[in-house]
Amino acid sequence: MYIISKLVTRVIPKSQNLLPIVFLGKNRYSNSSIMAPKALIFLASGAEEMEFVITADVLVRGGVDVTVASLTDNKLVKCSRGVQIQSDIAIKDASSKGPFDVIVLPGGLGGTKEMSESKEVGELLKGQESSGRIIAAICAAPLALKAHGIAKGKNLTSYPSVKKDLLDGSEGYQYKEDKVVVDDKLITSRGPGTAFDFALTLVEKLVGKEKAKDVANGMLVSW
């Protein structure tokens, strides 16, 4: 097992017989300030690890105050490849931490299913949309937007295998195949390989293009 903390500034080897755990508690994973933009990231069982961690990490590097919400009272969540990630709060407490400048939905089929079935996710997304704030989803997660009736008629993208399911209905989505698709307050992306582009686009929208470029350069990411 490897415990990754403090934005991956050190890696501590543990027993090789245990699953990896990534701890992203507030005291380890936020450089928040009073005026910082605020992001809420849903963390559901079966979420795609890369999409979650890359997005959270890049947002923090960009100066965003990140709050991670598990969908149940169990804050230690097992993701799609067995990595366990600890949330900051349970989703039932998310409203008291808001409002959020962006709500982020990582992908992963298991996580997407849980988000699609969650009443709390639906309520938060509907409130976010009605208030004109950003909603961002990557990989299979746009299916959760569809399940809750979010972003009807908007341009979006997703993991290729869920395209048919997204378009099968009356939502009127306009499907694109770009790495990242921005339509007003909706930002969507395709999968693990586009997670950096996705996260940097969020930094650009929340903090500014120059900050996003600085973050990309610091990670040696072409953007």
| Contact present, 55 and 199 (Cβ < 8 Å) | yes
Question: How far is C-alpha 63 from the geometric centre of its chain's CA atoms?
Answer: 16
> What pTM did the predictor assign?
0.86
> Can you spell out the DSSP letters for 89-136?
EEGGGSGGG---SEEEE---HHHHHHHHH-HHHHHHHHHHHHTT-EEE
In this structure, the chain runs to a length of 223
Q: pLDDT (tens digit, 9 = 90+) per residue, 42-82? A: 999 999 999 999 999 999 999 999 999 999 999 999 999 99
Instruction: Check if 139 is active-site.
Output: yes
Q: pLDDT (tens digit, 9 = 90+) per residue, 182-200? A: 999 999 999 999 999 999 9
Residue 211 and residue 164: Cα distance in Å, rounded? 36
Enumerate domains of the chain plus CATH numbers: 2-218 (3.40.50.880)
Which one from 94, 104, 139, 182 is the annotated catalytic residue?
A: 139
152 phi, psi to nearest 5 deg = -60, 135
pLDDT tier for residue 169 given thresholds of 50, 70 and 90: confident
State both tokens at 124. 């938060």
